[in-house]
């Protein structure tokens, strides 16, 4: 039995959410500019513009590959260790990017980008860490606050590219290496917050409350799939998170190419993506509140309706900058609603013992789904135009709506 009272658990939860949000914000400062600079470096080091998408692809692959090992580490040693190790891997990735720039080595950059992906995996796991402590209260609000903290780094991070490069050149660093100094600094601070701030560890507290201390853990993808077979509602949540991410990435990743081909400036492209990112993260607490008040499934349906409007506006208005701008903002909102609600539902229907392995599997599938969506979107854009891409993105939306209708026969 645990020695924690309900009041102590609630107080610990508030402290944990604050620490997670701070660590998430700091980590975001370092990762906010890495994909842009990594894309430029990939072209420069490889000598081919065809590798410009390598940064996003390899980073996403790194996030997918590290999600399950980090979740297993959390199950064994707690969230504090897992989040700290993930942030440390991102530091190694940033250091590798500096080394790649110095040696003019594209193979080193490839490895470094995969390690940087671990930083994204940390961000995904941090949102689940906000739901570990069993307070008996709804989970949507706390989870969404950690997601919201990403806004700070996502918005400010890209603006550190120019100062970072200027600082790097001033101290004799290679071209494009400077911004990764900020990444190392930010990830070091993030690691410190997780390592020293998450005491006691939220997942270990949850295990103690559930009487699982010392009990052998089951890990791996096979174990996670077994849980999803037994708890269909968890499978529905995992499916929602993965397919919603696929919708978002497939359209978002090709928007810069479409706008550039239509003759719009880099400033207009940047503003569109910034507004999209704001839609993804800035309104997360709103959807967390809606999830707690109306329920996760209703919020998921709301997210799909927002997706539908987004794809219609951007697709039919593909030759209008304002239509694409509004469509991309709504795309971010749809992703936010679906991801917050799906993640809260997944945490709600799983036991303390089941959460780490299934959450890690969910994060891995989410990243792989995004990578798949980004990979096929270029072909669809080329063959069927931006309007056709938005139409194709309706397929995952329809799948989620159908899954929601079937989920009525399952207990939440």
Identify the DSSP state of 136. Answer: S
Chain centroid to Cα 98, Å, comes to 24
Coil, strand or helix at 131: coil
The answer to whether 1-215 and 218-405 have equal CATH topology is yes
Q: Which pLDDT score is estimated for 68?
A: 87
Q: pLDDT tens digits for the chain (412 residues)?
A: 457 788 889 999 999 999 999 988 888 776 666 766 777 788 788 887 667 667 777 888 888 888 888 888 888 888 999 988 988 898 999 999 999 988 989 899 999 989 988 888 888 888 888 888 988 888 888 889 888 887 777 667 666 666 777 777 778 787 778 888 888 888 899 889 999 999 899 998 988 888 877 666 656 677 888 888 889 999 999 999 999 999 998 898 888 878 878 888 867 877 887 788 889 988 999 999 999 999 999 999 999 999 999 999 999 999 999 999 999 999 999 999 999 999 999 988 988 888 888 988 898 999 889 888 887 888 888 888 899 999 999 999 999 999 998 877 665 4
Tell me the whole-structure pTM to 2 decimals.
Answer: 0.85
Q: Give DSSP secondary structure letters for 24-45.
A: HHHHHHHHTTHHHHHHHHHHHH
Write down the residue that tokens 């219609």 correspond to.
312
In the chain, domain spans: 1-215, 218-405
Closest of 176, 194, 243, 184 to residue 73, by C-alpha? 194
Closest of 360, 365, 367 to residue 127, by C-alpha? 360
Q: Which pLDDT score is estimated for 95?
A: 93
Q: Which pLDDT score is estimated for 1?
A: 47
Q: Which pLDDT score is estimated for 137?
A: 83
Q: Which pLDDT score is estimated for 411?
A: 54
Instruction: Output the six-digit token pair for 260.
Output: 């550039």
Cis ω for the linkage preceding 61 (within 30 of 0) = no
Q: Which pLDDT score is estimated for 159?
A: 65
Q: Which pLDDT score is estimated for 214?
A: 61
Q: Is domain 1-215 classified as CATH 3.20.20.10?
A: no
Q: Please say whether the beta carbons of 22 and 193 come within 8 A.
A: yes
Q: Which CATH superfamily is domain 218-405 in?
A: MFS general substrate transporter like domains (1.20.1250.20)
Packing angle, helices 6-31 and 140-156, rounded to 10: 20
How many CA atoms, within 13 angstroms, populate the side-chain half-sphere of residue 215? 15
């Amino acid at each position: 039995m645990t020695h924690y009272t309900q009041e102590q658990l609630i107080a610990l939860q508030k402290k944990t959410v604050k620490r997670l949000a701070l660590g998430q914000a700091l980590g975001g400062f370092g990762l906010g500019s890495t994909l842009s600079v990594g894309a430029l470096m990939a072209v420069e080091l490889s000598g081919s513009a065809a590798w410009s998408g390598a940064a996003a692809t390899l980073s996403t692959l790194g996030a997918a590959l590290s999600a399950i090992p980090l979740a297993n580490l959390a199950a064994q040693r707690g969230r504090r260790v897992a989040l700290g190790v993930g942030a440390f891997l991102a530091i190694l990735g940033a250091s590798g990017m500096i080394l790649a720039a110095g040696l003019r080595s594209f193979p080193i950059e490839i490895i470094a980008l995969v390690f940087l992906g671990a930083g994204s995996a940390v961000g995904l796991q941090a949102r689940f860490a906000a739901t570990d402590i069993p307070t008996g209260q709804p989970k949507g609000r706390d989870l969404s606050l950690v997601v919201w903290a990403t806004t700070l780094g996502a918005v400010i991070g890209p603006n550190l590219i120019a100062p970072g490069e200027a600082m790097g050149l001033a101290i004799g660093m290679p071209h494009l290496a400077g911004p990764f100094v900020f990444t190392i600094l930010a990830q070091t601070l993030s690691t410190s917050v997780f390592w020293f701030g998450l005491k006691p560890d939220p997942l270990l507290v949850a295990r103690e409350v559930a009487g699982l201390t010392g009990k052998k853990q089951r890990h791996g993808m096979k174990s996670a799939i077994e849980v999803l077979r037994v708890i269909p509602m968890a499978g529905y949540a995992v499916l929602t998170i993965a397919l919603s991410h696929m919708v978002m990435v497939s359209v978002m990743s090709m928007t810069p190419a479409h706008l550039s081909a239509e003759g719009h400036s880099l400033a207009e492209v940047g503003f569109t993506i910034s507004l999209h990112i704001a839609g993804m993260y800035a309104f997360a607490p709103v959807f967390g509140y809606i999830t707690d008040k109306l329920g996760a499934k209703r919020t998921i349906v709301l997210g799909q309706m927002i997706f539908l409007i987004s794809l219609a506006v951007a697709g039919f208005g593909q030759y209008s900058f304002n239509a694409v701008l509004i469509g991309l903002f709504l795309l971010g909102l749809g992703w936010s609603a679906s991801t917050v609600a799906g993640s809260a539902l997944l945490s709600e229907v799983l036991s303390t013992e089941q959460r780490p392995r299934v959450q890690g599997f969910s994060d891995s599938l989410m990243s792989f789904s995004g990578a798949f969506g980004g990979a096929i979107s270029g072909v669809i854009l080329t063959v069927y135009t931006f309007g056709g891409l938005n139409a194709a993105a309706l397929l995952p939306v329809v799948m989620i709506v159908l899954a929601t209708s079937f989920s009525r026969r399952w207990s939440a």
